[in-house]
A and B are shown apart, each in its own frame.
Chain A
Amino acid sequence: MPPRFVRPTSRRGWLLLAAFILIIAAGCWPVIALVNQPVRVLGLPLIALWAYGIVLASVAVMALGNRWLARSDPPAAEPEERVQRERSS
């Protein structure tokens, strides 16, 4: 059991945590003040494009996390396996 506060246990875990924090910071002040301009990019207000940039960034970071987890974890038991395991135990 962790003594104080649950923390990442690997370098990749820390990197993911840092990426999550950066993405959250990207949607908040003061970063949002930097993109709060009355300009349009690709036809959209900059702040709208920024919001969808955050969408893409969050998908990318979670997809990266999935890849890292798949490499480090044994495959999770699917329902059929669980049922068999419960029957045999």
Chain B
Amino acid sequence: MNVPVALSITLTYLLVALCIGVRARGGRSMARLEEWGVAGRSMNGVVLYLLIGAGSISAYTFMGAPGWAYSKGVPVFYVVIYLSYLAMVAWYFGPKVWALGERFGHVTQADAIRDRYQSPKLGALAALVMSIGTLAYAVLQTIGAAYILDVMSGGAIPRWAGVSVVLGIMAIYLWLSGQRAIGMTNAFQGALMLVIAWLIGLWATHQASGDWWFGAVFDRLADQRPGFLTLPGADGSMSFAFWTTSILVSMVSFMPPVWMQWMSARSPTTLRRSATWLPTYYVVILPMVVVGFIGIFALPQLERADTVALTMAMQSMPAALAGLLGAGTLAAAMSSSEPFIHATAVTWARDVLRPALGLSEAATARLARWLLLAIMALIVAPLAITSPGNLVMILLIGLGFAAQVLPAFIGMFLWPRATPAGVTAGILAGFAVTLLGTLVWRNPLGVHAGFWGLLLNLPLFVVVSLSTRPVAREVTERFFAIMARH
């Protein structure tokens, strides 16, 4: 492969993303956290569609999904289903979150939790613990981005340099433009991913079968490897129980950056319209999954399944196409990394340090921007460069926790009787069970550890809530008055 051509295309993408991110500011002051954190609640439907779509897809589309297809087969499609359900969750809950934020000035998820339960401690706890999974996710995406630069440069850009370049570029536009940069760069990255994924998928299919549609690829699989076309998949790992519980647990995991994306919408109607069309974005996954299936025959001895698309690109694609794949994968990694780092900076400043130090609104906004740089330099960069072996485990635990915060949202949107004690008891019990089911007895009986957590969490939440004192009536009344209108 012609490395200079492929690398220059990938680097051109980085420059374009930088320009878009810097220009996204548009002369606005970023002194208010509402502006830097949630773009002054001003994003239009198209930007929001691509922002949420690209943010939820991540490097998984270009590396993980083809890898799953390569090693397991059709179990990979559970992602398409749960992402569609997440869009329905956004359609239903997003406008309520937006209305709460607009009415009561919430910027973060923990902000809303603190207000609903009148507990700064519960808000700070939610902010800190949710950031475990959030940061682990951002670190993994950054590692993916650096890996792309390493591959596309033929090894000339080592991981430390790739991490520095990617984080450096993100730091510049996030510092200058905050959530507006995330919106505009994700819109660009989302559109780019969609085009590149289909270009690569169709090209690889045509090379492998002579057809432009995927049918011949699956015909061959049905003849020679039929185990890839049904559950539990070729490696037998995706039972019906694990498929179902993975979808349900993922569906109820309200990640903090997504919450902030909802609050960035111009209006509840804009958000609802974006959520309505959001599932259509996930056609981006199909062509890359087919690339993974093609790899089963083209690259039978591959050591790491998630490198199947890149390996195929390096071995057989024209340099321009390989460069585009590099750009698309980098876009996917960055579009997921940046909102997670940004959301962590905002929530640490607003929900942990502001109440602890008694900061003003303006000081909190300044602190959030400095925290962004500190998180990148002192947490994300060192972890991405050293890439500790237990990072994926930290991510799994973090994501397992995300689902366990469900009682806090049930109490916010659906059940006025929920109490801070009930929520705390449910979260802690659910988290402990998820931890055991992740570290000690992995997914007992083939059921997702987070689902076992919820089985204890939810009944405990109800029982403790019914036996403890609720927050002041006026608090639940003002929350549920908004629920009734949205």
Point out the residue from A6, A42, A47, A77 that lies within 8 Å of B267, measured CB to CB: A77
A75 and chain B: residue at smallest CB distance = B269
7 A-B residue pairs with Cβ-Cβ distance under 8 Å, sorted by A, are A6-B480, A24-B85, A27-B247, A29-B243, A32-B244, A54-B81, A62-B91
Is there contact, CB below 8 Å, between A55 and B280?
yes
**CA distance in complex: A9, B283 (Å):** 35
By a CB distance below 8 angstroms, the chain B residues around A63 are: 276
User: Which of B74, B102, B241, B415 sits near A5, CB closer than 8 Å?
Assistant: B415
Partner-A contacts on B (CB < 8 A): 41-42, 74, 77-78, 80-82, 84-85, 87-88, 91-92, 102, 213-216, 218-219, 222, 226, 229-231, 240-241, 243-244, 247-248, 251, 266-269, 272-273, 275-277, 279-280, 282-283, 286, 289, 413-417, 473, 476-477, 480-481, 483-484
Chain B residues lying within 8 Å of A75, measured Cβ to Cβ, are 269
A: residues with CB less than 8 A from B are 1-6, 9, 20, 23-24, 27-30, 32-33, 36-38, 40, 42-45, 47-48, 51-52, 54-56, 58-59, 61-63, 65-66, 69, 75-79, 82
Are B230 and A36 interface neighbours, CB within 8 A?
A: yes
Q: Is the CB of A27 within 8 A of B214?
A: no
B280 touches A79 (CB 8 A): no
B484: which A residues are within 8 A, CB to CB? 2, 6, 9
Nearest B residue (CB) for A43: B215
Q: Which residues of B contact A51 (CB under 8 A)?
A: 77-78, 80-81
Q: SS class of chain B's interface: helix, strand, loop or mixed?
A: helix
Our pick among A23, A28, A69 for the contact of B88 (Cβ within 8 Å) is A23
The 4 closest A-B pairs by CB, nearest first: A43-B215, A62-B276, A29-B240, A27-B81
List 15 additional A-B contacts (Cβ < 8 Å) besides A23-B88, A28-B244: A1-B473, A2-B416, A6-B415, A28-B243, A28-B247, A38-B229, A43-B214, A47-B77, A47-B230, A56-B279, A58-B87, A58-B279, A62-B88, A65-B276, A78-B266
Asked whether A52 and B286 contact (CB < 8 A) given A6-B413, A20-B88, A32-B243, the answer is yes
Q: Tell me the smallest distance from the CB of B483 to a CB of chain A, in Å.
A: 6
Set A4, A43, A45, A59: member contacting B417, Cβ < 8 A: A4
CA distance A38 to B80 in the complex (A): 19
Residue of A20, A37, A42, A69 near B272 (CB, 8 A) is: A69
User: Considering only CB atoms, which chain A residue lies closest to B416 in the complex?
Assistant: A1
State whether B214 touches A28 (Cβ < 8 A).
Answer: no
Q: Report yes or no: A54 in contact with B268, Cβ–Cβ below 8 A.
A: no
Once bound together, how far apart are the Cα atoms of A48 and B222, in whole Å? 14
Taking CB atoms, residues of chain B closer than 8 Å to A40 are 215, 218-219, 222, 229
